[in-house]
Structure 1
């Protein structure tokens, strides 16, 4: 039975228009989206003017997107949606290292480096030794794991944000574990930095009284045959923004020790083991 659109039956009327030959999963997702989108408008009594502001916001968000910038991902991040989707899809047993957001600054095929090599190429920042092991849930070392790492420089920028200013592959590298599962490399103690806040998302944060900063962190992508891919960060434990990360990426288990080394050329040491989950 066909129903004409009314406020009371808006969800049922819209979802009834889906054809019998539609993709089942697409139909399920879209029906759920319509249900909650309509409930949102009804709950906050959305005005016509507010709806038009929302359309303008989404339009400007799309217009600022480019090959180097994805404002919609940024929007998803600051709403906590990226972290929610990540959490739903990466439920792991107790003891396994937790996932967090991937972020927009990973670059494929970073140079493969030897263990202990320095990834900081611009000479800025406080030198830091990162080391630990890649192990399974039983504590056994994982051989042949790829530890792909990247971070900002001492000024709070990734190399892809400053082409021609930073050396290519600055603060990036891939390391492969041996039989002992150990990894080690030298970089810098990371610094906190703001997400790009000169666009619609940044203006929205300002209107909400929110800052755009991420706490200092090192990115890790750890992969090994027979194990789930691990996308995570390690965070500097005394950072000002740990409790207010703009993209909600901090988890207590990912706060790593950063030990000051007195009288050494390398000023800091950050030990951290990564515990992988079977595929």
Structure 2
């Protein structure tokens, strides 16, 4: 078969006929058909295609142990949020993006511990429960949390300024499915713009900012793991998140309080900020033999 504009797609799809993994074959054939359609529609010049390859190469070169530029690219194109939304579990807390800063293991911490190792701002307590879809508390559920500081930086962005593990913690819920940790209210911040993704945003006139949020991954035996955010109510950029991750049900009140008795109960001093964020985990689907 001659490789022409008309026959190219079928020729490449046919080359995958011997793929034993049926899912892999289906994905590759679909990718080929959509990518070829894109090329036919946009008719890139050779120089433009070389520039595209160069851009993706630069994205790969920007990745390292603490920076994932491909995740960032997926985020700003809305692909990460789309994948999470497609894979969201009905009846559970809404999924959002993992983001590019879940690059190090969160240290194991006890309930009530602080993930703020700098202790420079007003204390904030975040608490809640992890629940089954029917409202039953889930004891011993695991919660992985990570966030930026009050200035909008993650620990991996400021080695030597923030200690490793600042803003991160791995917790297990109590017998009532409850969790609690101390921290500071995070700031809105720009995603990294010193790489090819930043240049893409600049070229398209898009801002790089994300609204203030705390990341969560929650898991429990027999339930689907959820990756989500608690977004700070009133934060700038809730309506224009650079990575399209805001969902209205995840916007959370961070309420200021002068109640000294409540502050003592929560292990902080007044005034403080308190946020409650419950997480619902849907059950794992039954596997049909």
- TM-score, scaled relative to structure 1: 0.92
Aligned to 1:222: 218
Distance 2:146 2:115 in 1: 9
Distance 2:136 2:41 in 1: 52
| 1:256 shift after superposition | 0.7
Residue in structure 2 matching 1:258, options 250, 254, 259:
254
Q: Does 1:131 align with 2:127?
A: yes
| 1:25 shift after superposition | 2.2
Aligned to 1:176: 172
Aligned to 1:100: 96
Residue in structure 2 matching 1:29, options 22, 27, 30:
27
Residue in structure 2 matching 1:192, options 164, 188, 191:
188
Distance 1:107 1:17 in 2: 37
Aligned to 1:242, what secondary structure does the other structure show?
coil
Residue in structure 2 matching 1:274, options 246, 265, 279:
279
Q: What do residues 178-214 of structure 1 show as CA deviations (whole Å, max 9, x unaligned)?
A: 2211111111111111111111110011111111111
Structure 1 segment 46-57 matched on structure 2, within 5 A: 46-57=44-55
Moved more, 34-43 or 171-180: 171-180
| 1:269 shift after superposition | 0.9
Q: What do residues 101-130 of structure 1 show as CA deviations (whole Å, max 9, x unaligned)?
A: 112222555333232222211123332111
Q: Aligned pairs, how many?
A: 275
Distance 1:208 1:108 in 2: 31
- TM-score, scaled relative to structure 2: 0.89
For structure 2, which runs of at least 5 residues remain unmatched after alignment?
Answer: 261-269, 285-289
For structure 1, which runs of at least 5 residues remain unmatched after alignment?
Answer: none
Aligned to 2:76: 78
Distance 1:147 1:44 in 2: 45
Q: What do residues 4-38 of structure 1 show as CA deviations (whole Å, max 9, x unaligned)?
A: 11212221122122342553322211111110111
